[in-house]
Amino acid sequence: MGAIGKPVARVDGPAKVTGTATYAAEFHPENMAYAALVHGTIPRGWIKSIATDAAESVPGVIAVVTHLNAPRLPWKPVDAAPVDPGEGEQLRPLHSDEILFAGQPIALVIAESQETARAAAALVSFTCVPSDGAGLVFDRARARPPSDGTRESYPAEWERGDAEGAFASAPRRIEGSYLQPRLFHNAMEPHATIAAWDDEGKLTLWDKSQWVDNVRDQITRNFGLAEDEVRVISPFVGGAFGSALRCWPHVTMAAMAARIARRPVRLELTRRELYTAVGYRPYTLQDVKLAADEDGRLRSVIQTAYGLTSAYEDYGEEVLDPVGMLYDTMSARTVYRLVELDTNTPTPMRGPGAVTGVFALEMAIDEMADAMDMDPLEFRLKNYAERDLKKDLPFSSKALRSCYETAALRFGWEKRDPRRRAMHDGNMLVGYGMATAVWPAMQAPASVRIRLFANGTAVVRTAASDMGPGTYTSMTQVAADRLDLPVERVTFELGDSSLPMAPVHGGSMTMASVGNAVAAGCKKLRDDIARLDGAEDGEHPVETLMRLRRDSFEVDGAAEPGAEAGTHSSYAFGAVFAEVRVDPDFGTVRVPRLVGAYDGGVIVNPRTARSQAIGGMVQGIGMALMEAGEWDDRLGRVMNANLAEYLVPVHADVEELEAVFVESEDRIFNPLGVKGIAEIALCGVAPAIANAVWHATGLRIRELPLTPDRLLMAEQAARTS
């Protein structure tokens, strides 16, 4: 039927527009109780005393749990999942009197209603003794290399050629420092877990998760259970962007509470709690040095990143991965350092690392082009990499040139006046800027179970997730395509750890991983049916089942990465162009227009893919202009832990967004030819906007977000210098 590539309307759309899609906090097991948390207020130290009697005396309170009376869990060692930091140990909630960060949960109240639980939580009083710890001030003098477990994935140092020597001897050089603040996922659905133990001691968790299998594995170990004693259910995820990759402490606390209350318990985090109970994109400071020949050929790229981590876990990410592969540069060097603070651990947020590294690199590239008096696009094309020089491998596919050309054309880049502060619209300064986007394409092993019925319907099941991009829909399309059935006759089920194994729903790899498993399963189903006694050549498998009087036929299918990972380098690419209007009096920046062109391989559903791409642009507007967790380095707290003070884009901030997917397929990378489009859509947006602001104003502001105060101060500094 050729369902792949069709703009199919979301199969879960009707449930979402009628309010019947059920998210984690919305299940209602009988006799459910409600939990609320009490948080420590100091960044490091010990709980000296804790008084729970006032809370316990409130009518409707079932129990108050602290480290003094919490059940001792076995905490069996867990092999670090790929979503966990390479070194360190996650907070064990209510496990001891030690406090590792401000906002750490130190007590849990279980009550008959949510209101009672929260009110009683306010009655728990405690005293704490502060102690010396890692500290609260992000100081690069305290930076250290990543520890051994982290270094395996994110090297402390890497170099090709003599980058410093090339820099020193090159005729054209620039250098600068770039700051990206702490950023929060702030998905609309707060994290929530409902836990219910049955009479046999088996645990069911309704949880907000991007990886139900991982939650099952971790909870199994924390509680010393067998794998078949824990089931994790998560049919709908209200956005996550990485915040639901890990199994966070509140999941353990929900299960603990349900065991104590001997009834199901819901633990739904508040918006404020989301700033400490789950992770965030780490504050990262970067130094970039670029050098070029007189003719505009890059000779050296040197990028150093200082990333924030917690004192109890060593969080690293791929900030520097793009350096050395994004451009055809003769030499390159990266240095990666971590700075520990007494705070909760960072976690991947959409495009983890790459978004941060590309922000600094693409602003620096723009500055270099300016120093060379070259058009920013021309400069990038001059240094276009035809091969991954970092891995020394050919790309399995690369259509970045086509992205540049397509986006530039749609945007009208040729209308750009090359001079800064030269374009106006009335009083407004107008600027055009652009940036490159890149994200490594990945695939992980996945499995599915497919049952084809003689009535011409099929059901495909796997423990995958859909946090919004449209897994339900795109997988239905793949199955319909490969089974030659109409889309509406195929049902796709996910979000249940009792289903066949699926990898984490993150890193843009669901389509490559689960999609290829669905395709492989469908092929196996057709092959197996064709081999049945009495099957006839060329007939549809449904016809075979009908003729053989079989009600249905089921197979398990799987897919995993092939040998191409060793012979090719696989990346998704993109080019983002931004127009800005800057008010010279108030320093306000508006983004009337963004155009992005992406090389994401085969696009299974252009309709949902476009939504994903423009959604990334919106988050990029937030990153460029408004988002920042404001850290108080005396109290060790994020001061704006809510959606009125941590600003994210609203309707009024977003005008024209255009996303184009260029002709691309990557059959070397995987049989479906897909590369993934989630992370790439955010990558490059912030530097494109920052470069446009420079073009509009002549002000090079290297700290995000580009708020009016920063613009006005930069303007003042430029005037006085």
Partner 1 sequence: MENASTGAEGGAVQARSTMRVTLEVNGREHALDVQARTTLLDALRDRLHLNGTKKGCALGQCGACTVLMDGERVNACLVLAVMAQGRHITTIEGLRGGDGLLHPLQRAFLDHDGFQCGYCTPGQIMSGVGCIEEGHAGSRAEIRQYMSGNICRCGAYVNIVEAIFETAVGTRP
Least distance CB 620 / partner 1 (angstroms): 9
Site for partner 1 in 468-507 (CB under 8 A): 468-470
Question: Exposure pattern of 391-406 as b/e (b: 16+ CB <10 Å)?
Answer: eebebbbbbbbbbbbb
**Identified binder of partner 1 from the candidate list 1, 80, 119, 381, rule CB under 8 A:** 119
Site for partner 1 in 226-245 (CB under 8 A): 236-239, 241
Q: Which is nearer to partner 1, 22 or 402 (CB)?
A: 22
Asked if 15 is part of the footprint of partner 1 (rule: CB under 8 A), the reply reads yes
In the chain, the amino acid numbered 413 is W
Rounded to the nearest 10°, the torsion over CA 94, 95, 101, 104 is: -10
Q: Which is nearer to partner 1, 278 or 389 (CB)?
A: 278
In the chain, the amino acid numbered 339 is V
Question: CB atoms < 10 A from the CB of 709, how many?
Answer: 9
Rounded-to-integer distance, Cα 59 and Cα 89, Å: 38
Among 11-19, 168-176, 508-516, 697-705, which window interacts with partner 1 (CB under 8 A)?
11-19
**Identified binder of partner 1 from the candidate list 129, 168, 717, 718, rule CB under 8 A:** 129
**Identified binder of partner 1 from the candidate list 137, 650, 717, 718, rule CB under 8 A:** 650
DSSP assignments along 199-245, one per residue:
TTS-EEEEE--S-HHHHHHHHHHHHT--GGGEEEE-SB----TTTTS
Asked if 126 is part of the footprint of partner 1 (rule: CB under 8 A), the reply reads yes
Asked if 642 is part of the footprint of partner 1 (rule: CB under 8 A), the reply reads yes
Q: Which is nearer to partner 1, 177 or 270 (CB)?
A: 270
The yes-or-no answer on residue 157 being catalytic is no
**CA within 13 Å, CB half, 255:** 30
Q: Name the DSSP letter for residue 142.
A: G
Site for partner 1 in 56-115 (CB under 8 A): 58-60, 107, 113-115
Q: Which is nearer to partner 1, 167 or 275 (CB)?
A: 275
CB of 212 within 8 A of CB of 232?
A: yes
CB of 277 within 8 A of CB of 329?
A: no
Among 119-127, 290-298, 315-323, 690-698, which window interacts with partner 1 (CB under 8 A)?
119-127
Tokens standing for residue 252: 């353990």
3-state helix, strand, coil in the chain (%, to 5): 30, 25, 45
Least distance CB 592 / partner 1 (angstroms): 11
Least distance CB 664 / partner 1 (angstroms): 22
Rounded-to-integer distance, Cα 434 and Cα 576, Å: 5
Least distance CB 469 / partner 1 (angstroms): 6
Site for partner 1 in 265-294 (CB under 8 A): 268, 270-271
Asked if 5 is part of the footprint of partner 1 (rule: CB under 8 A), the reply reads no
Q: Name the DSSP letter for residue 698.
A: S
Rounded-to-integer distance, Cα 246 and Cα 255, Å: 16
Least distance CB 574 / partner 1 (angstroms): 16
The residue annotated as part of the active site, out of 313, 317, 679, 715, is 679
Least distance CB 238 / partner 1 (angstroms): 3
Site for partner 1 in 592-631 (CB under 8 A): 607-608, 610-612, 614-619
Question: Exposure pattern of 411-425 as b/e (b: 16+ CB <10 Å)?
Answer: bebeebeeebbebee
Tokens standing for residue 151: 């270094």
Site for partner 1 in 169-188 (CB under 8 A): 185-188
Question: CB atoms < 10 A from the CB of 683, how many?
Answer: 31
Tokens standing for residue 681: 């859509």
Spatial CA neighbour of 540 closest among 492, 480, 491, 488: 480
Q: Count the site residues for partner 1 by CB under 8 A.
A: 88
Tokens standing for residue 583: 């008010």
Asked if 193 is part of the footprint of partner 1 (rule: CB under 8 A), the reply reads no
Q: Which is nearer to partner 1, 559 or 678 (CB)?
A: 678
Q: Name the DSSP letter for residue 628.
A: -
Site for partner 1 in 19-58 (CB under 8 A): 19-23, 25-26, 28, 34, 38-39, 41-42, 45, 48, 54-55, 58
**Identified binder of partner 1 from the candidate list 5, 17, 262, 424, rule CB under 8 A:** 17
**Identified binder of partner 1 from the candidate list 3, 12, 258, 570, rule CB under 8 A:** 12
**Identified binder of partner 1 from the candidate list 79, 533, 644, 719, rule CB under 8 A:** 644
The residues carrying an active-site annotation are 679
